């Protein structure tokens, strides 16, 4: 006998259809799986056999062959257990082929027939458009239902699936309103008012949040760099439904979505340790998985103690920062993961951390200071829009009562600036942040008046800016104009944007072109 059951597999954050073909022929009893199965798929033979036996449907003592088509594409994971079990039940005569027609099955089986959650349910559901239904573990049902692409049937065990297919006990389809899950959940985020002083840094953080710009914070230990970075997600606008779906896909494929959760409802904040490998940061491995840059998709990636990261790990960031995708190529396949994130990094000015703080505590030799700074390459720094010096906070400000700007006030300003960006132009319903403006859009929205252009020319000459640095100044100036509710990019906006690109001298203060002259 022969039958085939529909299933699906993951490739990056997308899915593709897989046909599970089963053939039961005469011969010595055997159970083989072909079609480039990985280890977890091959081991599924034992799980399926034990699960079927535990629910009263032992595998017939004949030659059983399972083929996963297309046979030239590697298959990984445990999600093929359920479709293999259904295919075996059909060829053994316990189910009719038409009962499983036009349905897609995914799920891992326990030895007792329990259905356990799998990775990538949302991506699989998106790929099932046009099918009658998707049968999967109940723990994945809400996540898959968010897609709204197919009727989702969630079951807790194999007998439930069998009863549903035979009509004995139909399972009600899962239904989830994705928009209802999203809300303004920034109330539990750390407040920007917790950071005393640092008005200049808070302003830079506001600009970064409004335009999606990358930030580098440099200053002595204890100045508040990490506190500022951890408060950036709290002033970002809430996730739109499309952004939440994209972030959920990545977390689900990586196995980071909590069981039973339907969506990632808040912007991700990822802060990997500096001992991370390049595969851990940008993704990879023998079986490719998303890295930290992809887990930070639609959110924030925080790299504390930036020079302590291994150089080749940091250099791997250069392409993702530009392309907003990571492509991982292996001999058998190539997968692509999205990685649109805001980078915020922090570093000390020297190995001891106190260079330029005015206290005289720094004992580092000049060559050691230069060597420490050179751990971060120029091309990577050129991709950072805002370079902000964070001085030590005076004791008077620490003890003072004026906390300065709080997160709700900053978030309201960011929301208004993002609204202006959304009114100008959007792509696929997603706000096009100023940091991602294409050249033709920059020419339309970012070119300042004559005075602003003169400032830019002086800045390019004095600071030795690259073409990338020039364009990033224009994008930051556009964001500053949005925060000021200005339709035009004025010279004052350009001057502030230039301040964020100016280098730091031995005193720890910004130096370079005098934008006021």
The predicted structure's pLDDT at residue 426: 60
More confident residue, 405 or 292: 292
Whether residue 416 is contained in a domain is answered as: yes
Residue bearing the bigger pLDDT, 402 or 127: 127
Those residues with Cβ within 8 angstroms of residue 349's Cβ, 6 or more apart along the chain or in another chain: 218, 219, 220, 355, 356, 369, 373, 504, 508
Mean pLDDT of 309-323: 95
Segment 442-447 shows an average pLDDT of 90
pLDDT at 439 (0 to 100):
87
Averaged confidence pLDDT in the chain = 91
Last residue of a domain, one of 149, 176, 203: 176
Same domain, residue pair 138 and 193:
no
Q: Is residue 464 part of a domain?
A: no
DSSP states of 36-91: SB-HHHHTHHHHHHHHHHHTT-PPPSSEEEEEEESTTS-B-SSTTHHHHHHHHHHH
Is 398 a domain residue? Answer: yes
Say whether pLDDT at 504 is over 70. Answer: no
Per-residue pLDDT band at 102 (split at 50, 70, 90): very high
pLDDT surpassing 60 at residue 387: yes
Domain-embedded: residue 132: yes
* Together in a domain, 298 and 240: yes
Residue 512 has pLDDT above 50, yes or no: no
- On whether both 386 and 432 belong to a single domain, the answer is yes
Average pLDDT over residues 490-514: 69
At 365, the pLDDT band (50, 70, 90 cuts) reads: very high
Tell me which of 272-281, 383-392, 504-513 is least confident: 504-513
Residues 369-380, mean pLDDT to the nearest whole number: 93
How much of the chain exceeds pLDDT 70, in percent?
95
Q: What does the DSSP assignment read for 316-368? A: TTHHHHHHSEEEEE-SS-EEEEE---EEEEEE-SSSSS-TTSSSS-----HHH
Neighbours of 274 (CB within 10 A): 14
Q: What domain count does the chain have?
A: 2
Whole-angstrom distance, CA of residue 324 vs CA of residue 128: 26
Q: Is residue 308's pLDDT more than 90?
A: yes
The percent of residues above 90 in pLDDT, for the chain, comes to 78
Residues 229-276: tens digit of each pLDDT: 999 999 999 999 999 999 999 999 999 998 888 999 999 999 999 999
Distance CA 254, CA 236 (A): 24
* Domain-terminating residue out of 107, 141, 176: 176
**Cα 37 to Cα 39: distance, rounded to the nearest angstrom:** 7
DSSP code string of 173-229? PP---HHHH----GGGSPPGGGS-S-HHHHHHHHHHHHHT--EEEE--TTSSHHHHH
The pLDDT value given to residue 187 = 57
Residue 500 to residue 388: CA distance in whole angstroms? 6
The residue segments making up the domain with residue 282 are: 186-436
Residue ending a domain, among 380, 404, 436, is 436
Calculate mean pLDDT across residues 173-177: 93
**Is 23 domain-assigned?**
yes
CA–CA gap between residue 425 and residue 447 (Å, rounded)? 16
Q: Output the pLDDT for position 404.
A: 79
511 pLDDT exceeds 80?
no
Please give the pLDDT value at position 64. Answer: 97
Same domain, 38 and 94: yes
What pLDDT, in 10s, does the model give residues 395-434? Answer: 877 777 777 788 999 999 999 999 999 888 765 444 578 9
Q: How distant, in Å, are the alpha carbons of 89, 159, 305, 465 from that of 315?
A: 52, 52, 15, 20
pLDDT score, position 145: 95
Within 13 Å, how many C-alpha atoms sit on residue 485's CB side? 4
Q: Is 463 within the bounds of a domain?
A: no
CATH number at residue 370: 3.40.50.300
CB contact set of 201 (below 8 Å; sequence gap of 6+) = 195, 217, 224, 228, 388, 390
Lowest mean pLDDT among 186-190, 229-233, 255-259, 319-323: 186-190
Do 136 and 233 share a structural domain?
no
Region 371-381 average pLDDT: 93
**pLDDT for the residue numbered 306:** 96
Tell me the C-alpha distance between 355 and 121, whole Å: 51
User: Are 12 and 136 part of one and the same domain?
Assistant: yes
Pair (291, 422) in one structural domain: yes
In a domain, 515, yes or no: no
Q: Is residue 301 part of a domain?
A: yes
Mean pLDDT (whole number) for 42-50: 97
122 and 244 inside one domain: no
Indicate if 234 and 354 belong to the same structural domain: yes
What is the total residue count of the chain?
517
65-101 CB burial, b ≥16 within 10 A, e <16: bbbbeeeeebbbbbbbbbbbbbbbbbbbeebeeeebe
CATH number for position 147: 3.30.230.10
139 shares a domain with 11: yes
Residue keyed to tokens 């902000």:
388
Tokens of 87: 């295919």
Is residue 185 very low, low, confident or very high in pLDDT (cuts 50, 70, 90)?
low
pLDDT per residue over 458-474, tens digit each?
Answer: 999 998 899 999 999 99
Of the listed ranges 10-19, 178-187, 498-507, the least confidently predicted one is: 498-507
Residue in 301, 307, 263 with CA at minimum distance from that of residue 283: 301
């Amino acid at each position: 006998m022969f039958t085939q059951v529909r299933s699906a597999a993951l490739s990056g954050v997308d899915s593709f259809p897989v046909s599970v073909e089963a053939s039961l022929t005469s011969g010595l009893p055997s159970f083989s799986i072909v079609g480039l199965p990985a280890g977890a798929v091959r081991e599924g033979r034992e799980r399926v056999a034990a699960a079927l036996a535990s629910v009263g449907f032992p595998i017939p003592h004949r030659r059983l062959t399972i083929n996963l088509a297309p046979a030239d594409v590697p298959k990984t994971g445990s999600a093929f257990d359920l479709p293999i079990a259904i295919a075996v039940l059909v060829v053994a005569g316990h189910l009719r082929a038409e009962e499983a027609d036009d349905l897609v099955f995914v799920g891992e089986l326990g030895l007792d027939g329990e259905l356990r959650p799998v990775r990538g349910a949302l991506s699989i559901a998106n790929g099932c458009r046009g099918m009658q239904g998707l049968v999967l573990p109940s723990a994945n049902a809400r996540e898959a239902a968010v897609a709204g692409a197919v009727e989702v049937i969630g079951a807790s065990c194999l007998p439930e699936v069998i009863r549903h297919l035979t009509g004995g006990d139909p399972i009600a389809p899962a239904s989830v309103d994705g928009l209802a899950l999203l809300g303004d959940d920034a109330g539990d985020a750390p407040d920007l008012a917790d950071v005393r002083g640092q008005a200049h840094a808070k302003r830079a953080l506001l600009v970064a949040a409004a335009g999606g710009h990358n930030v580098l914070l440099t200053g002595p230990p204890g100045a508040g760099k990490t506190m500022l970075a951890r408060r950036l997600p709290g002033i970002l606008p809430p996730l739109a439904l499309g952004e939440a779906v994209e972030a959920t896909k990545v977390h689900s494929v990586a196995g980071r979505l909590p069981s039973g959760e339907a969506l990632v409802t808040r912007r991700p904040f990822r802060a990997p340790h500096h001992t991370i490998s390049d595969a851990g940061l940008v993704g990879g491995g023998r079986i490719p998985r998303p890295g930290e840059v992809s887990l930070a998709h639609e959110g924030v990636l925080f790299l504390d103690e930036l020079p302590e990261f291994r150089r080749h790990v940091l250099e791997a960031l250069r392409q993702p920062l530009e392309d907003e995708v990571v492509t991982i190529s292996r001999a058998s396949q190539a997968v692509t993961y999205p990685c649109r994130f805001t980078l915020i990094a922090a570093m000390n000015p020297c190995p001891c951390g106190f260079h330029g703080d005015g206290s005289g505590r720094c004992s580092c030799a000049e060559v050691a200071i230069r060597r420490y700074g050179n751990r971060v390459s120029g091309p990577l720094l050129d991709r950072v829009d805002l370079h902000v010096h964070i001085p030590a906070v005076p004791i008077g400000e620490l003890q003072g009562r004026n906390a300065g700007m709080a997160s709700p006030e900053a978030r309201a300003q960011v929301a208004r600036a993002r609204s202006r960006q959304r009114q100008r132009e959007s792509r696929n319903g997603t706000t096009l942040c100023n940091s991602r403006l294409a050249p033709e859009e920059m020419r339309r929205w970012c070119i300042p008046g004559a005075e602003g252009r003169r400032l830019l020319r002086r800045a390019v000459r004095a600071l030795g800016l690259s073409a990338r640095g020039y364009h990033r100044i224009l994008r930051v100036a556009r964001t500053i104009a949005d925060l000021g509710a200005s339709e035009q990019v004025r010279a004052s906006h350009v001057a502030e944007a230039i301040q964020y690109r100016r280098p730091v001298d031995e005193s720890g203060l910004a130096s370079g072109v005098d934008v006021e002259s």
